[in-house]
Amino acid sequence: MRLSAFFAPTLREDPAEAEVPSHRLLLRAGFVRPVAAGVYTTLPLGLRSMRKIERIVREEMEASGAIELRMPILLPADPWKATGRYELYGETLFRLTDRHERDMLLGPTQEEVVTEIVAAELPSYRDLPINLYQVEWKYRDEFRPRFGLLRGREFLMKDAYTFDRDEEGMRRSYDAMLRAYHRIFDRCALSYVVVEAEPGQIGGDVNHEFMARAEVGEDLFVECANGDYLADRKAATPMPPEHVDVGEPHPLERVHTPNAATINAVSALLGLPAERMLKTMLYDAGGRTVAVLVPGDREVEEAKLERVLFPTPVRPFDEDDFRVRGFVRGYVGPQGLDGEATVLADHSVRGGADWVTGANEADHHVTGANTPRDFRIDRYEDLVALRDGDRCPVDGGQLRIGRSIVVGHIYQLGTRYSGPLGATFVDEDGTNRPYQMGSHGIGISRILAAAAEQFHDDQGLRLPKALAPFEVVVISANADDDRVAAETERIYGELSSRGVDVVVDDRGERAGVKFADADLVGYPVHIVVGSRGVAAGTADLKLRASGDRSQASLTDAAEAAVALLSSAP
């Protein structure tokens, strides 16, 4: 490939809209260009890197026994309504109506589609297990698309779906995908962790995320200082505090707390720490009121609440909810909620007593609130947001929060989709049984962005050779020198004949521009052929990852570049 005949526009200055290194560098290096908020054209260099990621993914998926197909992007809404996800996804869905007034959507994921395909075509236990996958564009109408490819409204994804006879088979398929994902991310040279995760709007129970470490990552994970616990922050479970015996409970007393509608205000007014307060947070869950109780110094992790109530849509109360349902904002307490709400409490509430909480009356709280004397709790769940310094549920060690980018997520779905869609097969005993399913996604475009976050310096990208758009660049430092041009062509041809993925920079640009672009794009190995070198019979070489420079004779330059490439990450 010749850069003189290639389309690789680079930028000298940082784009004003780019907030993170991957966004800035993928724009500057000519990998992508914006079309609209969260929507990008992938330029030739970026496409070459994406194709390399796809190749790795396809090789490992097919090595695990998965079979590729392609499903449509434009989907009918009815199956999504049957599974409850049409409402659950809410405004995240790109919705449209066709000319026949049928509800349609652009697919953010394809569980419903593939379930109906398998139910129609694989009706017997003899057809199972099967793993079907595709590499296709997905669409989510993000409220705030940002960070380039990290949070876009259009993104390239590999999604695979497994179908088994029973739970044991589903777990075997899950383990096979877990191993395949390790191989994929190892080949992509990413630094990553695998964590227990929150299923979100996909559903299911057991699931794991593959998270690429990144200083700017929006996705937080938790790890124990002792190295024996990893989890997505939204799924992490801290060790609850030990129960403290306070003796005989205090009586319930009403106290005047004027203009104290926040935990901090009540704490200051009564001279008590926030952890003595009992916070009552109200949510709408499909039209029903749910009260969530947590200590006053903790926050509700809404992702955990969504999981507890899945697939019912959940949202915090707004002003209209408080007004219509008769609750006083800032002064809500759990006492007197009989029949009006489902009351959930975090496990940390078990260890407390004599709580201070809202009196369900403006400017008033109560002290000495105790369960079950003064209020009921329907059930305890893990509902608090984890924070730095919480104790590990395994050994009590200190938990630390790290930043990352989610690049893969695998789920054991069970009958989450086959059940509501009536997707069954005939088992060996003649009975109809729902398929046991798994769902397994990898963000192809996200891997590129994550790699850019992990592999860059002040000069530009330093992508690993498995992902770089070209492995070697041969730079003609003096394009108007016939001897330089001849040696450049010879070395380029020799590398091509050896099967090296090589590009030659034969543009009529100044040498300094070519060197800067080579660093910016991040070709793993650079060979520079210039007038002085040709006169001395040498070529200059550079390993982009380390910046190490060396020389080789012109006759050995191609061989030296191959050797250098073998040492590149």
Q: What is the CATH number of domain 42-236+400-453?
A: 3.30.930.10
pLDDT score, position 201:
65
Residue of higher predicted confidence among 198 and 43: 43
| Average pLDDT of the residues in 512-516 | 96
Q: Note whether 42-236+400-453 and 253-381 share their fold.
A: no
Q: Is residue 203 over pLDDT 70?
A: no
Domain segments of the chain as ranges: 42-236+400-453, 253-381, 470-567
Pairing of strands 230-232, 355-361: unpaired
Q: Which residues pair with residue 104 across a beta bridge?
A: 76, 96
pLDDT score, position 246:
64
Classify residue 393 by its DSSP letter: T
Q: Is residue 513 over pLDDT 80?
A: yes
Architecture of domain 470-567: 3-Layer(aba) Sandwich (3.40)
Q: Is residue 200 over pLDDT 80?
A: no
| Average pLDDT of the residues in 115-140 | 97
* Angle CA 340–345–349, to nearest 5: 135
Q: What count of Cα atoms within 13 Å lies in the side-chain half-sphere of residue 370?
A: 13
Task: Identify the CATH assignment for 253-381 out of 3.40.1010.20, 3.40.47.10, 1.20.140.10, 3.90.960.10.
Answer: 3.90.960.10
Edge-to-edge strands, sheet with 103-106: 74-76, 103-106, 94-97
Which pTM does this prediction carry? 0.84
What digits encode the pLDDT tens for the residues 142-151? Answer: 988 989 999 9
The interaxial angle of helices 167-187 and 44-63, nearest 10 deg, is 140
Instruction: Assess contact for 291 and 336: CB atoms under 8 A.
Output: no
Residue of higher predicted confidence among 234 and 107: 107
pLDDT band at 245 (very low <50, low <70, confident <90, very high): low
What digits encode the pLDDT tens for the residues 371-424? Answer: 999 999 999 999 999 999 999 999 999 999 999 999 999 999 999 999 999 999
CB environment 246-271: b (16+ within 10 A), e (fewer) = eeeeeebeebebeebeebeebbeebe
